[in-house]
Amino acid sequence: MPILEVKNMYKSFDDTHVLKGVDFSVEKGEVVSVIGASGNGKTTLLRCLTFLERPEKGEIIVDGQTIFNASSAEKLTENDIRQSRLRFGLVFQNFNLFPQYTALENVTLAMKSLAKDGLKHFDGDINEIGASYLKRVGLEDKLHFYPCQLSGGQQQRVAIARALALNPDILFFDEPTSALDPLLTNEVLATLKKLAEENMTMIIVTHEMKFAKEVSSKIIYMDDGKIVECGTPEQIFENPTHPKTREFLSSFIDEEN
């Protein structure tokens, strides 16, 4: 059984149709890279999956349980949405850290709030758990540093630790390296590769084609709000079947050759 199924998802903003019947599934432990030109619905897809936007049509199924069905979405309470969000972690391209809090405080803030509200139980001291996740991303010596004292790559790794600390079923990344220079990009990509080796289920919107080819179990190519092609990295990068996929990847393939 897939850990995630997305069925017939549609999303519009006023008269602009952004998602037009998106269907896909993800197996536990898979790394799925979502590629395509800007403005074709990739970020909107992640925002719908994490309840930051609400689709007009479609279903989201996690581990066989329907957590969202647009036909009955008006019955969802705020508590329902908060509970469903706990299944997922989202890492934004611009880090979204709180500047007034240290790295450790940024990681533990949501944990403490969820524990206080009785929405999630953590085994052990929350500060110690938060510190262990910062160590996991190589920042054990930056616990008490503020975001302004950290490089962009370090800030993004704090954001990854924050998402991991809530123990989500799936981690979503929205272009996690787009705000970084090449050196810091490699730092963050190395962290993602390590998570992939640990069988963390991830969906990554990315323009890093080399990374997507090396790390992904599956590639989704989106164009005009639809999934045009989906397959293994070998299929997509070496033998794409759709003309739009071939056109999008042509410059990357030329660089490789």
Q: Say which residue, 78 or 245, is predicted with more confidence.
A: 245
Q: Which amino acid is at 131?
A: A
Three-state SS at 167: coil
Please give the pLDDT value at position 254.
59
**Among 105-109, 144-148, 186-190, 247-251, where is mean pLDDT lowest?**
247-251
H-assigned helices in 54-102: 78-85
Q: How much is the pLDDT for 257?
A: 52
Radius of gyration of the chain (CA): 18
Whole-number Cα distances in Å, 129 to 138, 140, 162, 200: 14, 12, 11, 18
Instruction: Give the mean pLDDT of 97-117.
Output: 95
Give residue for tokens 């890093």: 208
At 154 the pLDDT is 96
Could you tell me the pLDDT band of residue 113, with boundaries at 50, 70 and 90? very high
144 CB contacts (<8 Å, ≥6 apart)? 102, 103, 104
Are the C-beta atoms of 33 and 219 separated by less than 8 Å? yes
Q: What is the pLDDT of residue 122?
A: 92
Q: Which residues contact 167 (CB under 8 A, 6 or more apart)?
A: none
Distance CA(171)–CA(143), nearest Å, equals 22
pLDDT digits (tens, 9 = 90+) for 140-173: 999 999 999 999 999 999 999 999 999 999 999 9
What per-residue confidence (pLDDT) applies to 253?
Answer: 64
Nearest one of 153, 154, 195 to 172, comparing CA atoms: 195
Averaged pLDDT, 56-76: 91
Neighbours of 119 (CB within 10 A): 13
* Phi, psi (deg, nearest 5) at residue 69: -135, 115
Tell me the pairing of strands 226-231 and 218-223. Answer: antiparallel
